[in-house]
């Protein structure tokens, strides 16, 4: 049963530290999304890639967040420096282009910045 995997599942860090979250999309899926979920804002799209190229990262604070896809099996989201307001659950999702927008979500990384 193919699934999106994310690591780490939980991360607690101090303000100012760098945080890196990783995602392995489902094999054969060429579109990858990064979302952030909080109680206040709900699920927000941060960035997404198609065939490893960034298509839209307008939802992401550019001064501290960066997203990359070094290869087709790995997507990363980095926060440097982290701030308490970055505390949230970060989800990665992947989609096979042409599959009627069927996104498959990973289990998320719960980030707490103290």
Partner 1 sequence: TQLLEQSPQFLSIQEGENLTVYCNSSSVFSSLQWYRQEPGEGPVLLVTVVTGGEVKKLKRLTFQFGDARKDSSLHITAAQPGDTGLYLCAGVSRTDSWGKFQFGAGTQVVVTP
Residues in contact with partner 1 by CB under 8 A are 4, 35, 42-45, 48, 55-56, 91, 93, 100-108
Give the CA distances from residue 27 to residues 22, 90, 101, 105, in Å, rounded to whole numbers and listed in that order: 15, 21, 16, 14
Q: Which two tokens stand for residue 26?
A: 């489902």
Q: Which is nearer to partner 1, 81 or 107 (CB)?
A: 107
**What's the closest the beta carbon of residue 51 comes to partner 1, in angstroms?**
13
Q: Are 16 and 30 in contact (CB under 8 A)?
A: no
Q: Which is nearer to partner 1, 42 or 70 (CB)?
A: 42
Q: Which is nearer to partner 1, 15 or 55 (CB)?
A: 55
């Amino acid at each position: 049963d193919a699934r999106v995997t994310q690591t780490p599942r939980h991360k607690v860090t101090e303000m100012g530290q760098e945080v890196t979250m990783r995602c392995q999309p489902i094999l054969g899926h060429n579109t990858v999304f990064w979302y952030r979920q909080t109680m206040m804002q709900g699920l927000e799209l941060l960035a997404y890639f198609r065939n490893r190229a960034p298509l839209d990262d307008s939802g992401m604070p550019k001064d501290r967040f960066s997203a990359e896809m070094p290869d087709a099996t790995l997507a990363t989201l980095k926060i440097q420096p982290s701030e308490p307001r970055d505390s949230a659950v970060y989800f990665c999702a992947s989609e096979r282009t042409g599959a009627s927008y069927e996104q498959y979500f990973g289990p998320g990384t719960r980030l707490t910045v103290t």
